[in-house]
Structure 1
Amino acid sequence: MGGPRPTATVGVPASPAGYRLAASAEMLFVDLPFVERVARLHERGFEVEIWDWSTKDLPALTATGAVFSSMTGYLRGDLVTDDGIAELLRTAELSLRAADVIDAPRLNLHGTGLDATGQPVRPGADMLPMQWEVATQTLGRLAEMGERAGRVFTLENLNLEVDHPGTPFARAADTFALVRAVDSPAMRMNLDLYHAQIGEGNLIELVRRCLPWVGEIQVADVPGRCEPGTGEIRYEAIAAELRRLGYDGVIGLEGWASAGPDRALDAFRAAFSA
Structure 2
Amino acid sequence: MIRFSANLSMLFLEVPELERPAAARRAGFDAVEVQFPYDHEAARWRDALHAAGVELALCNVPAGDLMAGGQGLAAVPGREAAFREAVAQAAKVAQVLRPRNVNVLAGCPGPEHDRERCLDTLAGNLAHAAQVLGDLGMGVVTEAVNTVDRPRYLIDTTRAALDVIDRAGHPNLRIQYDLYHMQIMEGDLIRSLRTHCARIGHIQFADTPGRHEPGTGEIHFPNVFAALDELPYDGFVGAEYVPTGRTEDTLAWMAGRRR
* Contact 2:28-2:258 at 8 Å conserved across structures: no
Could you tell me whether the CA contact under 8 Å between 1:41 and 1:48 is conserved in 2?
Answer: yes
Question: CA–CA distance in 2 between the matches of 1:256 and 1:91?
Answer: 27
Q: Is contact 1:218–1:251 with CA below 8 Å preserved after alignment? A: yes
Residues paired across the two proteins, number: 247
Give the match for residue 157 of structure 1: 144
Give a deviation string over 1:204-263, Cα, whole Å, max 9, x none. 122122211111000000111111111110111111211222222110000011232112
The alpha-carbon deviation at position 44 of structure 1 amounts to: 2.5
Q: How many Å apart are 1:124 and its aligned residue? A: 4.6
CA contact (8 A) 2:104 2:126 kept: no
Aligned residue identity for 1:67: E
Closer, same or farther: CA 102–174 of 1 in aligned 2, 3 Å: same
Residue pairs, 1:226-241, within 5 angstroms: 226-241=212-227
2:102 matches 1:107: yes
Cα shift readout 1:22-64 (whole Å, capped 9, x = no counterpart)? 0111111212110112220123231111011221343222222
Q: Distance in 1 between matches of 2:206 and 2:129?
A: 28
**Identical aligned residues as a percent:** 26
Q: Output the CA distance in 2 between the equivalents of 1:134 and 1:110.
A: 13
Q: Residues 136, 51 of structure 1: CA spacing in aligned structure 2 closer, same or farther, 3 A cutoff?
A: same
Offset, 1:146: 2.1
Distance in 2 (alpha carbons) for counterparts of 1:149 and 1:175:
24
Determine the C-alpha separation between the residues in 1 that align with 2:10 and 2:118. 33
CA distance in 2, matches of 1:131, 1:257: 35
**Cα deviation 1:165-222 (Å, max 9, x = unaligned):** 1111233221122123434342111111101111111111221222111110000001
What are the within-5 Å matches in structure 2 for residues 73-84 of structure 1? 73-76=61-64, 77-84=72-79
Q: Per the alignment, in what secondary structure is the counterpart of residue 258 of structure 1?
A: coil
Q: State the one-letter code of the partner of 1:222.
A: T
Taking a change above 3 Å as real, the CA distance of residues 174 and 127 of structure 1, as seen in their structure-2 partners, is farther
Does the CA contact (< 8 Å) of 1:147 and 1:186 recur in 2?
yes
- Structure 1 match to 2:177: 191
Q: Is the 8 A contact 1:235 1:272 kept in 2?
A: no
Separation in 2, partners of 1:107, 1:79: 13
1:266 equivalent in alignment to 2:240: no
Matched with 2:164 is 178
The aligned residue for residue 32 of structure 1 is: 15
User: In the alignment, what sits opposite 1:22?
Assistant: 5
User: Counterpart in 1 of 2:87?
Assistant: 92
1:125/1:168 contact within 8 Å kept: no
Q: What is residue 6 of structure 1 aligned with on the other side? A: none
Q: In 2, Cα distance between the equivalents of 1:250 and 1:192? A: 12
Paired position in structure 2 for 1:9:
none
* Matched-pair contact (CA < 8 Å) for 2:14–2:246: no
Which residue does the alignment assign to 1:225? 211
After superposition, the Cα gap between the structure-2 partners of 1:265 and 1:124, relative to the gap in structure 1 and judged at 3 Å, is farther
Corresponding residue number in structure 1 for 2:33: 49
Alpha-carbon deviation of 1:83?
Answer: 2.9
Counterpart for residue 67 of structure 2: none
After superposition, the C-alpha distances for 1:134-166 in whole angstroms (9 at most, x for unaligned) are 3222212221112212111110211101x2111
1:61 maps onto 2:45 in alignment: yes
Partner Cα distance (1:70, 1:44) in 2: 19
1:70 partnered with 2:58: yes
Question: 1:75 touches 1:92 (CA, 8 Å); kept in 2?
Answer: no
Name the SS for the 1:54 alignment partner.
coil
CA contact (8 A) 1:125 1:166 kept: no
Moved more, 228-237 or 128-137: 128-137
Give secondary structure in 2 for the equivalent of 1:88. helix
Question: Residues 127 and 201 from structure 1, CA distance in 2 versus in 1: closer, same or farther, beyond 3 angstroms?
Answer: farther
Tell me the amino acid that sits aligned with residue 128 of structure 1: R
Instruction: Specify which of 133, 136, 153 is matched with residue 123 of structure 2.
Output: 136
Letter in 1 for 2:10: M
